[in-house]
Structure 1
Amino acid sequence: MIDVTEQKRRVAVIGGGITGLTAAFYLQQQAKNQKLPLEIVLIEASHRLGGKIQTLRKDNFIIERGPDSFLDQEQVIEELAKQLGLEDQLISDVPGKTYVAVNKQLSPIPEGSILGIPTKMISFAKSDIISWSGKVRATCDLLLPPSNVKDQSLGGFLRKRFGEEVVENLIEPVVSGTYSGDIDQLSLHETLPNLAEACLKYRSVIRGIQKGNFHLKEGTLKSTFKTFEHGLESLIYALEKSLEMAILYKGVRVKKISKMQDKVLLLLNNQNSIPVDGVIVATPHQAASKLFEHEELLNGLLDIPANTIATVSMIFSQNAIKKKFDGNGFVVSRNSDYSITACSLIHKKWPHAIPKEYVVLKSYIGRSGDESIVELSDNEIEKVVLQDLHSTLKINEKPITTIVSRFKKAMPQYTIGHRKRVDQAKKALHAAYPTVRLAGNSYEGISLTDCIISGKKAATEVLTSIFQTELYL
């Protein structure tokens, strides 16, 4: 057993993804600022930190296996980058059109669309994605009374406002690309609450967006996406390097959390145990629910579904794309006979990351309810994706390199009742373990920014509960 010194309190962070690293960073920052006697232990089950953030750097290529950029409307990541000395490495994407594949046709998403919702009606009227009857139905949003404010499915709300055709061929492909989920299962109030607020305030979603008095949490098609010059993993390396007060355990898994007098005891898979004063559990909710001595404590979290996806990055020669295409990428309607759900032209969005004589296409596979494709071998996945890229972009050659990255049960789905499930779990956990907190993308937001906010909030709450004083970060 590892001893706890008399002078210091110890906080353990379980999980070394972006949430756990951020939590450890802000624990350390607060301890320094407030001169708190604190020791931090970060425990990660794998042999690397960063979770889904994985940057591959080779031969002047910078390829992201997981997320490749972020939106930072609240400047959360920018502020963290400044604290880590990375602000000069932040870069923005090269803006460009986004297309949608409907049946066999690639068409540009109408100018001014926000998450596929039309706001510039002349541009929308000129689009060939939607029939005239579908366009007329979509404008009913301007005439319909406000929709019921009770929690409901995102798909149900959108269909009431805009009709089936616009949702299926325009809104759903964009929204599903953001949330990797089924809009008929996702909760309106947990994913895009500002749509409901706009509808109530202005009697119309379109009018509310046009007024510009609110912003969508996940941004718009014209939002500026950002990354770091040498890849997102630069943020992971900087966070790890900054943790001089922390003890890092990699390749070590927490098997069980229990009580030991006035401490919390962590039992590790290497037969050691660590008594601590507080814990931040920054693992996926499926793992978190199995950690506690009384396993039924967080059983409600098991009702949060999670989708499996994969990214497929392919490197081609410079002239591989035979179709005339001026977009930065495209999303795919469910009405289309394609296996990929979206494709991003990395060499156009992030030209700094790809040598000029090559093109890189990053495709996404794995739809909610149809994830079996992710279980195929790398070679089989490559064949399926190549077939889709041939149909959409007229690519006839084989890739020079293909990088398949699988993320199993990695995308939490905020279905109806999500907030209630999370609140009940946190309430039960607080009653049993007052100095333990949950953090991560399973609870209050799936984006990188949300994860950082979650880690920071958990750090503040744990320190406040341990030192019995109000702390602010």
Structure 2
Amino acid sequence: MIDVTEQKRKIAVIGGGITGLTAAFYLQEQARLHHYPLEIVLIEGSHRLGGKLQTLRKDGFIIDRGPSSFRDPKGIVAQLAKQLNIEDEIVTTTNAKTFIAIDKDLQQVPQNTIMGIPTKFKPFMASELVSWSGKVRATADLIIPPSKVDGDRSLGKFVRRRFGEEFVQSLIEPLLSGVYSGDIDELSLQSTLPSLLRYEQQRGSVIRGMRHEMKSSEPGDFTVRHNSKNVQKFRGGMSTLTHALTDELTDCEILKSVKVQSITPFQDKTCLSLNNKSTILVDGVIVATPLHMVTNLFEEEEVRQLQTVPCNTVATVTMIFKEDSLQSFDGTDVYISRNSDYSFTSVTFEHKKWPFIAPEGYAVVNCYIGRTGDTAIVDLSDSEIEKALLEDFQQLFGLDQLPLETIVSRWKDSMPQYTIGHADRVKKAKDTLRKLYPTMRLAGNSYNGISIPKCIKQGKHSADQLLCELFEHTPQFTNSFD
């Protein structure tokens, strides 16, 4: 056992989303394991914990209002679920097929592709998504030499150089824009998909790099039909994870509907001023709130520079239909080409991927709206959004039925855009904070990854760093988020 001081320390975790809950859970776990004299307080500004992981359960339906699934190639979610004894709740879809909508045409994404990039050439060459000249240009990735550009660069510019304009516009751009709700020409390669650059530099080709990764992966890590790494969710909905975390935080004081208004140094501690007119003195802080809340807490210019990180407002629109009212469609996921005149960025027929989320005979369809330069639709009324989406459904799927129910979930400023230079801006802000507040950490989807696994990893890593600072704890995690 590590010999630690008997002086009790206190750490505050600000923000009760998946990052903050994970940080609090890991602090508690390590304090118990090493007998650290540690108090933990979790402060959440709303009346509920879980952030965007919200599940509505009603009349046999399981509807996720935020993220409805996840990819877990490194087993980060699986490891946490095992610690929480909910690993048996994770299910993997085996029935998924992705399409791209170009105008009124629906074309299947070729099998054996990752993010649209082919790892086998026969299904790619048979696809009608790209012309023959576009296919030939895309395969030039195998002979184009690696770039010698130093520093960060545009994700869009990188993939266009490797694969050509037509291939990117028809295949890569719809898929990536659907994931990041942004413009790939403005997004940072370093902060979104650094693996593509690594493939190019190490293998001389993105395609070769992906093929090598597929061959070296465990069997079952990839599904041919979904054209990507396996997609998973929790059987009872995504809030299964946050509820399990909350239930485990028995040694943690939880304050809900309480907001931190300012953070200031006080002697050798940090003072948190709350909106209930009280203050808390702590020895360490993990700030895991949305970015627009973080920048209001500090006066330091380097931290306030993070205000320049754009955050898109998006919404998830869930529609419930009688299944026999839908036209026959062979796919589960549809991504929208940026050149198409549709309101949504992507559509998922959830009941096809996860039959257990709806009673037999019913269909659950999720539409995702909002992207860079096109967020006005999110501000419309629920009925106006429903009307616009149904018009799109009529064009794409021949739907002429009204939904039995529509649920609109808006997420204001929830999708940070990792624009070029993002990693340097984040590093500068964190370095500044660390000089002024050695025992403070920033974590969450605004910094080092928007996915659930990466948010979990950031929560764990931040907790590990603070324990190292306060108790000479042996670090368990590296500062890598690739």
What's the TM-score, normalizing by structure 2?
0.93
Which of 370, 387, 392 matches 2:391?
387
- In the other structure, the counterpart of 2:153 is 152
> Are 1:315 and 2:316 matched, yes or no?
no
Measured in 2, the distance between the counterparts of 1:450 and 1:88 equals 21
Q: Indicate which of 430, 451, 462 corresponds to 1:458.
A: 462
**Could you tell me which residue of structure 1 aligns to residue 168 of structure 2?**
167
Q: 1:221, CA displacement in angstroms?
A: 2.8
> Does the CA-based 8 Å contact 1:169-1:335 persist in structure 2?
no
Q: CA deviation at 1:346?
A: 0.6
For residues 113 and 259 of structure 2, what CA distance do their matches in structure 1 show? 45
Does the aligned pair in 1 maintain the 2:285–2:440 contact within 8 Å? Answer: yes
Return the alpha-carbon distance in structure 1 between the equivalents of residues 211 and 302 of structure 2. 45
- Give the equivalent residue in structure 2 for 1:189: 190
- 2:183·2:372 contact (CA, 8 Å) conserved in 1? yes
142-151 vs 342-351, greater mean Cα deviation:
142-151
Q: Which residue of 2 aligns with 1:225?
A: 231
The alignment partner of 2:48 has SS state of coil
Give the distance between the partners of 1:400 and 1:449, measured in 2 at CA.
34
Question: Alignment partner for residue 432 of structure 2, among 428, 436, 452?
Answer: 428
Counterpart of 1:183 in 2: which secondary structure? Answer: coil
Contact residue 76 and residue 453 of structure 2 kept, 8 A = yes
SS at match of 1:274: strand
Which residue in the other structure is 1:123 paired with?
123
How far, CA to CA, are the matches of 2:442 and 2:287 in structure 1? 5
Is residue 417 from structure 1 mapped to residue 421 from structure 2 by the alignment?
A: yes
Residue aligned with 2:113, SS:
coil
Structure 2 residues not aligned, in runs of 5+: 1-5, 478-482
1:461: Cα distance to partner?
0.7
Is the contact made by 2:115 and 2:228 (CA closer than 8 Å) also made in structure 1?
Answer: no
Aligned residues: 464
For the pair 1:98 / 2:104, whether they are aligned, the reply is no
Q: Structure 2 vs 1, CA of residues 122 and 87 (structure 1 numbering), >3 Å: closer, same or farther?
A: same
Indicate yes or no: 2:252 matched with 1:252: no
- 1:362-419 CA distance string (max 9 Å, x none): 0111121111111111000000111111111111000000000111111111111111
1: CA distance between counterparts of 2:167 and 2:36? 55
State which of 439, 444, 449 in structure 2 corresponds to 1:440: 444
Residues 190 and 423 in structure 2, CA contact (< 8 A), matched pair in contact too: no
Task: Give the distance between the partners of 2:228 and 2:139, measured in 1 at CA.
Answer: 22
Is the counterpart of residue 22 in structure 1 residue 22 in structure 2?
Answer: yes
Q: Which residue of 2 aligns with 1:3?
A: none
Out of 349, 352, 360, the residue aligned to residue 348 of structure 1 is: 352
Aligned partner of 1:284 in structure 2 is 290
Deviations 1:427-456 (A, max 9, x none): 100000011111111111110000000000
2:314 and 2:375 in contact (8 A); partners too: yes
**Contact persistence 1:149–1:196 (CA under 8 A):** no
Question: How far did 1:214 drift?
Answer: 7.5
CA distance in 2, matches of 1:364, 1:253: 29
| Contact 1:12 1:42 (C-alpha < 8 Å) held by counterparts | yes
Aligned AA (1:257) = I
Query: 1:454 & 1:270 partners in 2: Cα distance?
Result: 29
Q: Is the 8 A contact 1:49 1:236 kept in 2?
A: yes
Please give the secondary structure, in 2, of the residue aligned with 1:326.
coil
Amino acid in structure 2 at the alignment position of 1:319: D
- Report if aligned partners of 2:302, 2:428 keep a CA contact under 8 Å in 1: no
Quote how far apart the aligned CAs of 1:69 are: 0.8
User: Shift of the alpha carbon at 1:250?
Assistant: 0.3
Secondary structure of 1:327's counterpart equals coil
Across the aligned residues of Structure 1 and Structure 2, the Cα RMSD in angstroms comes to: 1.6
Contact 1:142 1:207 in 2 (8 A): yes
Deviation, 1:207, is 2.0
Alignment pair present for 1:299 and 2:299: no
Deviation track 1:126-164 (CA, whole Å, cap 9, x = no partner) reads 111112221122122122111234321010011111111
Report the more deviating stretch, 176-185 or 221-230: 221-230
CA distance in 2, matches of 1:318, 1:331: 21
CA apart distance, 1:288? 1.0
| Cα drift, residue 227 of structure 1 | 1.2
CA contact (8 A) 1:55 1:232 kept: yes
* Alignment of structure 1 residues 3-82 onto 2, 5 Å: 7-82=7-82
Which secondary structure state, in structure 2, belongs to the residue aligned with residue 290 of structure 1? Answer: coil
Q: Which amino acid aligns with 2:289?
A: T
SS in 2 for 1:319: helix
Indicate the SS of the match to 1:409: strand
Distance in structure 2 (CA, Å) of the matches to 1:471 and 1:74: 19
Change (3 A) 1:471 1:157: closer
Between the aligned partners of 1:444 and 1:307, the Cα distance in structure 2 is 17
CA offsets 1:301-324 (integer angstroms, 9 cap, x no match): 1121111111110000121212x3
User: Does 2:89 correspond to 1:83?
Assistant: no
Structure 2 partner of 1:272: 278
Counterpart Cα distance in 1 of 2:210 and 2:242:
35
Q: Aligned to 2:117, what secondary structure does the other structure show?
A: coil
> Separation in 2 of the partners of 1:200 and 1:433?
38
CA distance in 2 between partners of 1:90 and 1:96 (Å):
17
User: Are the counterparts in 2 of residues 94 and 350 from structure 1 also a CA contact under 8 Å?
Assistant: no
Distance 1:144 1:105, change over 3 A: same
Residue 289 of structure 1 contacts residue 295 of structure 1 at CA under 8 Å; is this kept in 2?
Answer: no
Local SS of the residue matching 1:107? strand
**AA paired with 1:136?**
V
1:333 matched residue in structure 2: 337
Q: Quick one: which amino acid aligns to residue 64 of structure 1? A: D
Cα shift readout 1:256-314 (whole Å, capped 9, x = no counterpart): 0001111100000000000011100001122112113x353511211211111111100
2:332 aligned counterpart, secondary structure: strand
TM-score, normalising length from structure 1? 0.95
- Counterpart for residue 368 of structure 2: 364
Cα distance in 2 for partners of 1:472, 1:360 equals 41
Q: Which position in structure 1 is the counterpart of 2:3? A: none
